Chain A
Amino acid sequence: MHEGSNGFQKRDMEENRTEQIMRQFQHVNRDSLIPILQAMQDEFGYISDEVVEKIGEHLKLPASKVYGLASFYSQFTFTPRGKYHIRVCDGSACHIDRSASIVKELTKQLGIGDGETTRDGMFSLEVVACIGACGQSPVIAVNSDYYPKMKSGKIRELLEEIREKHR
């Protein structure tokens, strides 16, 4: 019972937050769609069904149109991100330095692919275009920490370190 009511509270809070964010945008039309989506992505870390519906109601757009536009851009994700969001750089330099093998290793270790989140909500994985550290390629980032000169052999160790720290 207690847990349930907390859940409801959290939902209500999120709903209020969604409305607050949307009110910050003056133009209630299609022009505001991308800025609103960006603000939602920043706030919640992903675009949920509820957010798509709320934006649609606010801008008088069908949900399919909101999702259609959002799904065009890779900056928007539709599953909640993990506590530790791993971005693997696949810019030209990192690509040449075999970023693909790092993605492969992460997928093997975590059991998730690009754009997915582990069941326990700990890790999520995203392959991104250049993150601007080409001299240190290949690079990965975990939340805001950057790991230069990454090797697929070091992935297991890194993940264990994070898990240890979290405990």
Chain B
Amino acid sequence: MMIKIEVNNRTFSVNRGDTILAALRNNGIQVPTLCSMSDLSPTGACRMCVVEVEGFESLVPACSFRVEEWMKIKTHSARVLQARKTNVELLLSSHPDDCLYCERNGNCELQKLAEDLHVRNRNIQGHKSSFKIDTSSPAIIRDPGKCILCGRCVRVCEEIAGVSTIDFERRGDRLMIATAMAEPLHFSSCIECGMCVVSCPTGALTDHAQFQELADSLDQVETTVTAQYTPEVPVSLAEEFGFKPGTDLKGIINNALRRIGFDYVFETACCGDMYIVEQASEFISRFMKKENLPLISSRCTAWVNYVETFQPALISHLTPVRSPHQLTGKLINTWFAQMKKIPANRIHNVLITNCIASKGEVNRREYAMNNSPDIDFVLTTRELARLIKLNGIDIQSLEAEPSDGPFHAVSSAGKLLAIAGGETEATLRTVYHEIAKKEMQESRQAKLRGNKSVREEMISTPKGDISVVAVSGLKNAIKLLEEVKDGKRTYDFIEVMVCPDGCVNGGGQSIPAREQSIKARVKTINELDKNEAIKAAHKNTAVAKIYQEFARGPRTDESKELFLTRFEARKVLR
């Protein structure tokens, strides 16, 4: 129902039940916010959105007040502006003055507010925090000194990730956001999904970058440096360089990476197909024996971290196959190295991905051979953007180039892995083909597309019906698994993506992450699948070649040695 309110001496009709903030935004009136996040509960902590409401003695936080019929609101009166400015000055009073050296310089919400509200002097002197920087995690660096206690990270960790690794701790001027018992992040229950990093308005949470190490390897003449990028990267980079969100920059990335100095540029999506073939054969073997079902996908690194930390009983249900980028890394250091006659320890492999958890994953014991890791460095998509800028590459003027063999053949199944539901759809295509010995009539599974967080589907095969579900957003997955445990739902296959909408919305994407951008990325991937001639992983010629030349087919001793992995329970305070 619509009601009328007066804002800045104009009348607007707004939805009854909306917050003042929502009502203002729907009518094109902008008030600044810091702690507010769409879809999450309002906390009213930062007081940036305060407005003047006639009849109220004090200013009112627009984010956590509902509109009422009689309201007369002023959003930018002198009193409101002064209050907002003072708020920013108070936040800055104990904030370090090192903007020039901060990773978020030029992309910081606090900096922008200070600019917008004309903060030109330090009027309030607070005492500088002496918090230590936490560099323990290979994925995320935490600098509590730059934290403004807006609590966005705490809320995404609780309400979207559902793990609640961090919370407000201590009080007064010692109040900080930290893990249980204030343990370093690496020894906490953190699953490294990085949603907190994307949600952080300042430089308090940033990537654990390895630019110097990477620069050193690129500089060594005797080292061959390869780059592989996951399928969400080419569609997630557009915003950084002024393209329309969702633009596919695949060929341009190949060109840019070669200019930066990478000797070979590979697409992870090729081994994405391989992962699907391996997973499909694992599934079929379990499905025929009705053993250890449901099979649960293990491609999402943060999901694996979650299972190992919180629900080790599920480990036997995980697909025991290396993730696509780890398959690529392994094959580069073995098959490719033999082919090119380069010793594996002279090859450095760099992974570029929207997934910040991969930065931790590459350190796992099982992903190294003779002390030479299968992947040496990980760059997030936003770090790639910085690397391109560092190298002075004008991406707008670059020609598209193909990626390098032997991983150049890619089906659209491998690319679907970038979006939630895509892995299930891709796996079904191959499973159906293996069981029915023919292709599915309709490759596109409408029920697995769309924007719901839980997507169910049932397909009929000659060997029986297969029921699958794809769930994204870890909190949704935790709830779904509870229902599976209680017997309220049964599935043969479950796909879990920790980040809502999948990797296109990963913890390593550009900041800020806008909803429309993520939708545009999903749309591009869907279109890639529609327009691609080869839609199934088992039809990928490169995968066929790998099996033929090197691994003798899925589930042979050779392929098990090369492609399988294992998981183990992790004991931390949770």
Contact = CB atoms under 8 A, between A and B. Distances in A.
26 contacts: A49-B573, A52-B181, A52-B573, A53-B574, A62-B158, A62-B163, A62-B165, A63-B181, A63-B189, A64-B165, A64-B169, A64-B180, A64-B189, A65-B164, A65-B167, A66-B180, A67-B167, A67-B180, A67-B181, A68-B167, A71-B169, A71-B182, A72-B169, A72-B170, A72-B171, A78-B181
Contact of B574 (A62, A72, A78): A62
A72 to B, nearest CB: 5
B179 interface: yes
Contacts of A56: 574
B167 A64 contact: yes
Contacts of B178: 64
Nearest to B179: A64
A40 B222 CA distance: 61
B180 A63 contact: yes
A49 B167 contact: no
A64 B178 CA distance: 8
A68 B170 CA distance: 7
A74 B170 CA distance: 9
Interface of A: 49, 52-53, 56, 62-68, 71-72, 78
Given A53-B574, A62-B180, A67-B182, 7 more contacts: A63-B181, A63-B573, A64-B166, A65-B167, A71-B171, A72-B170, A78-B181
Centre residue among B163, B171, B573 by max chain A CB count within 10 A: B573
Given A52-B180, A52-B181, A62-B180, A68 B169 contact: yes
Nearest to A65: B167
Interface in B544-574: 573-574
Contacts of A72: 169-171
By Cβ-Cβ distance, the 5 closest A-B pairs, closest first, are A63-B180, A62-B164, A68-B167, A64-B167, A64-B180
Which secondary structure characterizes the binding site on chain B? Answer: mixed
Nearest to A73: B171
A72 B158 CA distance: 19
Given A49-B181, A52-B180, A78-B181, A63 B170 contact: no
A64 B166 CA distance: 6
Interface in B319-352: none
B574 A63 contact: yes
B530 to A, nearest CB: 42
A52 B167 CA distance: 14
Interface string B143-172: 000000000000000100001111111110
A72 B167 CA distance: 11
A64 B170 contact: no
A68 B168 CA distance: 6
Contacts of B158: 62
A49 B178 CA distance: 15
Most chain B CB atoms below 10 A, which of A62, A66, A78: A62
A67 B168 CA distance: 9
Contacts of A65: 164, 167
A63 B572 CA distance: 10
B171 A64 contact: no
Nearest to A57: B574
A159 to B, nearest CB: 29
Contacts of B189: 62-64
Interface string B164-197: 1111111100000011111000000100000000
A109 B400 CA distance: 71
A72 B181 CA distance: 12
A71 B170 contact: yes
B169 A67 contact: yes
B158 to A, nearest CB: 8
Contacts of A71: 169-171, 182
B160 to A, nearest CB: 14
Contacts of A49: 181, 573
Nearest to B175: A72
A63 B164 CA distance: 8
A11 to B, nearest CB: 15
Nearest to A66: B180
A78 B158 CA distance: 24
Contacts of A62: 158, 163-165, 167, 180, 189, 574
Contacts of B164: 62, 64-65
Most buried by A among B178, B180, B182: B180
A66 B573 CA distance: 11
Contacts of A66: 180
A53 B170 contact: no
Nearest to A70: B169
A126 to B, nearest CB: 16
A41 B279 CA distance: 50
Nearest to A72: B171
Contacts of B166: 64
Contacts of B165: 62, 64
Nearest to A74: B171
Nearest to A78: B181
Residue among A53, A65, A68, A72 with most chain B CB within 10 A: A68
B573 A53 contact: yes
A66 B189 CA distance: 14
B187 to A, nearest CB: 11
A71 B169 CA distance: 6
A56 B163 CA distance: 13
Contacts of A78: 181
A63 B187 CA distance: 13
A129 B164 CA distance: 33
Nearest to A63: B180
Contacts of A52: 180-181, 573
A56 B179 CA distance: 14
Contacts of A53: 573-574
Interface in B401-441: none
Nearest to B172: A72
Nearest to B183: A49
A67 B178 CA distance: 10
